[in-house]
Amino acid sequence: MNTLAKLSINMKKILIVVMALGWFHLASAQQAEPTPSTQHYQFALDSNNIMLGDQTVLKIERTNTYPTLDDLTNSSIIALRQWVDTLDGTLFTALTSFEPGEHWYHIGDDSVLMTVNDVPNVDTTSVNIRDINNIMRQPYTFGEIMHVLVYFWAFWIIVAAAVFAFCYFKRNKPLISTPQAPKLPADEQALKDLEALRLKQLWQQGKVKEYHTELTDTLRQYLEGAFGIQSTEMTTDQTLEAFHSCPFHRGATESMLGQILQTADMVKFAKSEPAPYQHDLAMKQAVDFVTQTSQAAKQAASNEDNPTEPSNQN
């Protein structure tokens, strides 16, 4: 028991000694680190004598710890802003004051006297206060007049060009019209388009749908141009019904048109695969249809222009 008691007492003494050493080391470290209020700075003021509200610049040479704006502000002098010269490490601080008089400005463990001069009183009764003079008017120069005229005429030229362009575009006419070749008759244009389609050899390349679509589009455009039938906006049945009402239609031509349109519908909508001879047959029927209907229309027009007179019977 005596041994344990002695050991406990010794441990307490050792703990007290360690705590004392730690406290001494902490106090020494705090005392060794300078604070802005006790550190010595190498500084200079641009001017020790300023007017009320003016500014002067405080320059502090490179140091380990720079004072902040709060450190450099007191009851009579205000630190406004700071910046550092990155080349030599000099700290610049803009100072001002709104309290006239002499102020001892403390910087670290040193101080400097700064004098702030008040604005002198002005006796307004002894000053002749005058009204503001009128604005002096100078005559316009030739260059100024020409400058205005250039802008004036440029504005109206732009307006005229805009109106001109608007009128032409509104009527779907180009600004520069070029002579166009005379439009071919509907039957000649249709035969020309059919021949161009044949030379493309679309169905031989496996483009069966494209072939029949272009073929029927050519015939529909022919019906619209030659007979006024709006076939491009009609179904197959509506097209056949409209063609049937034409006075010069023939049963053979109507049958050819129906067969061509129905074959194309089967290809486009039912994904049918006609035999190779049917592609050539559709082309031949289309050419025959255009040729026969155009001849019938021309014959009907000729009969209307030259009607035969009935012979006199005794």
Per-residue model confidence (pLDDT) at position 309 = 46
In this prediction, residue 37 carries a pLDDT of: 56
Nearest CA among 220, 224, 222, 209 for reference residue 265: 209
Helix (H, G, I), strand (E, B) or coil at 137: coil
Q: Is there a contact between 286 and 212 (Cβ–Cβ < 8 Å)?
A: no
Q: Which of helix, strand or coil describes residue 95? A: strand
Average pLDDT of each block of 10 consecutive residues along the chain (314 residues)?
Answer: 60 72 60 56 88 91 87 90 90 92 84 86 68 81 88 92 81 62 84 90 89 91 87 87 78 85 88 86 90 82 63 40
Of 5, 84, 9, 91, nearest to 42 by C-alpha is 91
Question: Which residues, including other chains, have CB under 8 Å from residue 3's CB and lie 6 or more apart?
Answer: none
The pLDDT score that the predictor gives to residue 268 is 86
**Predicted TM-score (pTM) of this structure:** 0.43
Dihedral class, residue 237 (left if φ above 0, else alpha if ψ from -120 to 50, else beta): alpha
| Amino acid 90: pLDDT | 92
